Amino acid sequence: MMSSSAPPPASSGAPRPPRPLQRLTARGREEAHRVASPLELFFDLCFVVAVAQAGVQLVHAVAEGHAGTGILDYVMAFYAIWWAWMNFTWFASAYDNDDALYRIVTLVQIAGVLVLAAGISRAFTDHDFRLVWLGYVIMRLAMVWQWLRAAASAGGAERTTALRYAGGVLLCQVGWLGLVLLPEPARPWVFLVMALVELCVPLYAERKRMTSWHPHHIAERYGLFTIIVLGETIAAATVAVKSAVAEHSAPAELLPIAAGGLLIVFAAWWIYFVVPIHGHLRSRRRAFVWGYGHYLVFASAAAVGAGLEVAVEQATGKAHLSTLAASAAVTLPTALFLLTVWALHSRHFKVGLAQQLVLPVTALLVICCTFLGDWAVLAAGLVSAASVATGVVLTARPATRERGPEVASPAG
């Protein structure tokens, strides 16, 4: 009989602690049963803390009547969060070896996003980006280290790709110093230039050899982050409603906002996950467009939560803006989410003009709901839910008749 203190046999399937150090070599694109790791899930959760901070500051800016500067600051802060998240996600899909050093460097990146999150409020209120810049540098230097590790274990074109990534990311950090050193009027231009340069780094690095990221794993990682962002939207709206009821005892004014917001989030989840997208990502060009385009998906989903908070504050008299402006804070990001999801992958699975028009028409109707006053959010939610029902009806009958039981999704 085996002693209780003896290590489990190799075939037992028991979890093992990570090895302290091993080569960081590429994983296979056709690897079976590839799923998100606990470390990746923890990574996402910590990044959403920063997303929540950006949303809170956007609420304050819009509620105080500073929507223009608030949106600009939100775009800049969210870009830093999203870009660092995205770079790690694609790198991990290709190179995650789960050794102790890999885990430690990933935890350093998490520490960096928490530093960035701590600086978001100062960036919004005082336009002081020093702490945001420091957090971003921590995240990106950790990423440079990961790429150098990959280069040390690779050869030929793969090594060149890894070194291009490391060099490109490192050089970009020098350019981002402009957010700290240059006068405030120049900072939006620094952001615009550097954001475009950062976007060009992967295009340059993978020009000759594409890294071996896993399509199914990437689709799952993006989907999980979308779920977490939508969950943060619900949490933010719930807290806003709870606070408003506790202070004003006005559930009648808040019920349409709460119901409409819930319908919007439910519809957003359904629309995003109605089709499996991983098969669409095997093309390099499609993968880049899809991956980059998710900036708008994530940013708009998070902005819906901020908009719901603004709508609650306006309904209870705490926000210094009109009903029209408060409604637009919900309807415009909702429409942007619908259009972006349609453009990135839903349209590739639609057959015929009627199916193709569902989401664009829904986005237009949601924008029109902006002018319905106190009922705008509820109307937007009902329109979003109706689009889901319409999509199911339009796609179910052709799928049943032409494809039979092999169609796994009503949007086939």
Residue 17: the pLDDT is 64
Tell me which H or E stretch contains 53: helix 38-63
Domain boundaries, the chain: 38-205, 215-406
Tokens 């996402």 found at: 44
366: which 2 tokens?
């949601």
**Structure confidence by residue, pLDDT tens digits, 107-159:** 999 999 999 999 998 888 888 889 999 999 999 999 999 999 999 988 888 89
**DSSP symbol at 402:** I
What is the rounded distance in angstroms from the CA atom of residue 356 to the CA atom of residue 385? 17
Residue type, 271: I
In three-state secondary structure terms, 73 is helix
**CATH value of 215-406 in 3.40.1710, 1.20.1410, 1.10.3470, 2.60.40:** 1.20.1410
Sequential pLDDT tens for the chain (412 residues) = 333 333 334 333 445 566 677 888 878 777 777 888 899 999 999 988 899 889 889 988 888 888 888 899 899 999 999 999 999 999 999 898 888 999 999 999 999 999 999 999 888 888 888 999 999 999 999 999 999 999 998 888 889 999 999 999 999 999 999 988 888 888 889 999 999 999 999 999 988 788 888 888 898 999 999 999 998 888 877 877 777 777 666 677 788 888 899 999 999 999 998 877 776 777 777 888 888 999 999 999 999 999 998 998 888 878 788 889 999 999 999 999 999 999 888 777 777 787 788 889 999 999 999 999 889 999 999 999 998 888 778 776 544 444 433 333 333 3
What is the rounded distance in angstroms from the CA atom of residue 193 to the CA atom of residue 239? 37
220-241 burial code (b ≥16 CB/10 A, e <16): bbbbbbbebbbebbbebbeebb
**Structure confidence by residue, pLDDT tens digits, 56-107:** 899 888 888 888 888 998 999 999 999 999 999 999 998 988 889 999 999 9
375-385 burial code (b ≥16 CB/10 A, e <16): ebbbbbbbbbb
Mean predicted lDDT score pLDDT of the chain? 84
Residue 32: the pLDDT is 79
Residue 81: the pLDDT is 92
Q: ∠ CA 118-187-197 to the nearest 5 degrees?
A: 95
CB burial class (10 A; 0-12, 13-18, 19+) of residue 173? middle
- Distance of CA 119 to CAs 122, 137, 347, Å? 5, 13, 39
